[in-house]
Structure 1
């Protein structure tokens, strides 16, 4: 992505904003017909994006939206609930991952499993009522089944780590002092570099 560090004018028209200095903030606007390529945004808190269960949950949400997008307005409440329960699955996986304790992580995963159960129950009901085709049901149910099994294995693994005491509650971050312009030393597990 080409970042534009051009001087920008504030409301009063002076270059560089309130301080009068050129801005070093990258422009969020792009000129051209194609949007810029997305930057890889990785950090400790976004590690859930590597989880297969989170990726499957996103796919389930997408498939749920596609399946119900053309339903008539009279069934708007059902559509809203189906989409909301599928949406809750990936959100709770992410929230649990971002928590700092295994207890909170497991709690969020169990909430996610509950939302998944709600979604699957709906798929069965919609199929029996003739509101979705057998093919649509099969696609939704197969993906949900794979996701359920993955989540159950993840919960089982985390419970085992909890019971063995091998889960580390503390998060150790390594930061670059150059980012902060600081001469302070990096602290890693009680040691300095």
Structure 2
């Protein structure tokens, strides 16, 4: 399938699902956590697809990669907050959610590696062309 907008990106779609699931999971957290861990988890979860979309919409590879790196940072933040919340028994452990966090991490890391390799290859080709002149 041809990617026409950020909405066509599987990593964005999965990020949206993850954000929704975090919102639903955090509804069960103690009310006194609403402006602390609950809020932090929700903001980090929303940041993932938002940064993927923002980077993609800037139409340059460096900006896209920057958005992906920010998204993966938010994913690490979210994963840590989720572990804190489950270890304190604020919310139950959800193996499906843990798997989705890991899958999103793998997908973003893989895409970053591919984009980085493509950038390095283009730089190598440019250097080769300059040498031949």
The answer to whether the superposition gives a TM-score over 0.5 is yes
Structure 2 residue 124 is the aligned partner of structure 1 residue 154: no
Number of residues paired by the alignment? Answer: 120
**Are 1:143 and 2:100 an aligned pair?**
yes
2:56 and 2:15 mapped to 1: Cα distance?
A: 14
The answer to which structure, 1 or 2, has the higher relative contact order (CA under 8 A, 6+ apart) is: 2
Distance 1:127 1:72, change over 3 A: closer
Task: Compare the two structures and name the one with the higher helix fraction.
Answer: 2
Equivalent residue of 1:91, what SS? helix
Contact 1:56 1:147 in 2 (8 A): yes
Unaligned residue ranges in structure 2 (runs of 5+) = 124-133
TM norm structure 2: 0.84
Write out the 4+ residue segments of structure 1 that deviate beyond 3 Å after TM superposition.
none
Matched, 1:49 2:40: no
Q: 1:133 aligns with which of 92, 103, 117?
A: 92
Structure 2 equivalent of residue 111 of structure 1: 70
1:93-112 aligned at under 5 Å gives the runs: 93-112=52-71
> Structure 1: 5+ residue runs without aligned partners?
1-42, 167-193
- Corresponding residue of 1:66: 24
User: What is the Cα-based RMSD across aligned positions, in Å?
Assistant: 1.6
